[in-house]
Chain A
Amino acid sequence: VRCQHYPPLRALQASAALRRASDEHKKEPLTSSSQQHFDPPPAGHQPEQEPQGPRPSYTGQGGQESEDYESEEQLQHRILTAALEFVPEHGWTAEAIAEGAKTLGLSVAAAGMFHSDGSELILHFLSECNAKLSELLEKEQKLVQLGEAEKKPIDEFLRHAVEARLRMLIPYIEKWPQALSVLLLPRNIPSSLNLLTSMIDDIWHYAGDQSTDFNWYTRRAVLTGIYNTTELVMMQDSSPDFEDTWRFLENRVADAMTMSNTASQVQSTGEAVVQGLMGAAVTVSSAETSRAVR
């Protein structure tokens, strides 16, 4: 599965504090973050001042050592996954992350590890969706290779892949417009663009694209356009099971196929015309020559 993980980039101090607290479930740790949406920690608490190395080891307060060392990235991954459940209710916010952390038995201060606009949560969700799509397409490819399934024609395959990917948004559809606007923040654009392009590349790869010329770019650009416009239509669609969206998708894919057929027709017509002109030129010049000779 071709996947990319985007670990959040917050200070390690907060996560180290989180680990101590998670072991005890008693104290509310003070985090270094200034933006909090929940109750401040009880007064009289000592702030965390211990210097942290790049890889704090996970030792419990009671002198116990955890058996599996979990990296910070894995921990953040777990928290974000757990947080997804609360997105329909709280949106892509620190609240959702806090609730997610609570279900894992961690302190709500865990949300301090992440940006308050939910960027990491959204990027995490995107990367999970892409991974799921890759897995699905890989599985279907295997079935085709084993002869257990028919190979779909290109337009049907593209429709199927885009629909499968967009359906993953359905549980979060109410809050997805918010997510799209967060993804357009300059800070997030490199990551979101990266995720988008790798998803489109994956779809074309499994569709059997083997182009090694400029078509490589044309195809991906066209599919990106189809995906983005269909996603926007989906945001505004209120038909049962989004049937309007899938019909829109079908039309766009059909348009793209027509466009590519037309393009190749234009090309072959052009080549035929050129050949015809060359033939005419040769005929005329040999006629001239023979007349001159006479």
Chain B
Amino acid sequence: AGGASLRLCSTRVAQEGINKPVIDRIIRVDHAGEYGANRIYAGQMAVLGRSSVGPVIQQMWNQEKDHLKKFNELMVAYRVRPTVLLPFWNVAGFVLGAGSALLGRKGAMACTVAVEESISEHYNNQIRTLIEEDPEKYKELLQVIKQFRDDEQEHHDIGLEHDAEATPAYSVLKTAIQLGCKAAIFLSERI
């Protein structure tokens, strides 16, 4: 075939014939998301670690740590560039976690509910994209994302169980946080 198209080739077997731009974006933004989630829980633990809700947050945090580990591996395997904004998400995530925890444990749970809802929706979108592309080729990645989506959904439910909705100004807080998440996702996909 002729034409002025760019031809990309790679020696890694894993990368033959995959839609590199799409996979790049997916892994980059998911990695950033798990990194941010880690920092949010770290912030919450810094404030509420010794309270009665500490163990619950710690357990959710441990799961996020596993998620991040997995995405670190995928990032290396697919040779994906991490987002430049990582240092920023480092600070912003911690501030969000600590800030919401300072509103009390209900505030922390509200933050968890908001973030986990955004992330679940985001993972669902990615699952749809990958299934549209080629479910067979991306089977492993799909499995990982589905598993993580279920985990995040579980966190969301735990947040609700712990009276997240009883937070003062719950809907305002939730909307604000979810807007922030949307912006973070948009930016991390691209830069």
Contacts and interface: CB of A to CB of B under 8 A. Distances in A.
A134 B9 CA distance: 11
A4 interface: yes
A213 B86 CA distance: 7
Given A205-B79, A216-B82, A217-B84, A138 B11 contact: yes
A291 interface: no
Grouping DSSP codes into helix (H, G, I), strand (E, B) and loop, the B interface class, with mixed when no group exceeds half, is: loop
Nearest to B74: A212
A73 B5 CA distance: 9
Interface in B75-90: 75-76, 79, 81-82, 84, 86-87
A216 B5 CA distance: 29
B4 A212 contact: no
B8 interface: yes
Interface string A238-278: 00000000000000000000000000000000000000000
Contacts of B58: none
Contact of B4 (A7, A134, A217): A7
A7 B5 CA distance: 8
Contact of A1 (B9, B79, B84, B86): B9
B169 interface: no
Interface in B155-176: none
A9 B82 contact: no
B153 interface: no
B76 A9 contact: no
B3 interface: yes
Given A3-B9, A134-B11, A73 B4 contact: yes
B20 to A, nearest CB: 10
A205 B76 CA distance: 9
B2 A55 contact: yes
Grouping DSSP codes into helix (H, G, I), strand (E, B) and loop, the A interface class, with mixed when no group exceeds half, is: loop
A212 B72 contact: yes
Nearest to A211: B82
B31 interface: yes
- Interface size on A, as a range, is 20 to 34
Interface string A197-220: 000010001000010111011000
Nearest to B68: A212
B6 interface: yes
B1 interface: yes
A210 B76 contact: yes
Given A212-B31, A217-B84, A2 B9 contact: yes
Interface string B57-83: 000000000000001100110010110
Contact of B7 (A5, A205, A213, A216): A5
A128 interface: no
B11 A212 contact: no
Contact of A9 (B1, B4, B31): B4
Given A2-B9, A213-B82, 19 more contacts: A1-B9, A1-B11, A2-B8, A5-B7, A6-B6, A7-B4, A9-B4, A54-B2, A54-B3, A55-B3, A71-B3, A73-B4, A134-B11, A210-B76, A212-B31, A213-B86, A214-B84, A214-B86, A216-B81
For the complex of A and B, the 10 pairs showing the least CB-CB separation, nearest first, are A71-B2, A72-B2, A212-B72, A2-B10, A210-B76, A212-B75, A7-B4, A5-B7, A55-B2, A138-B11
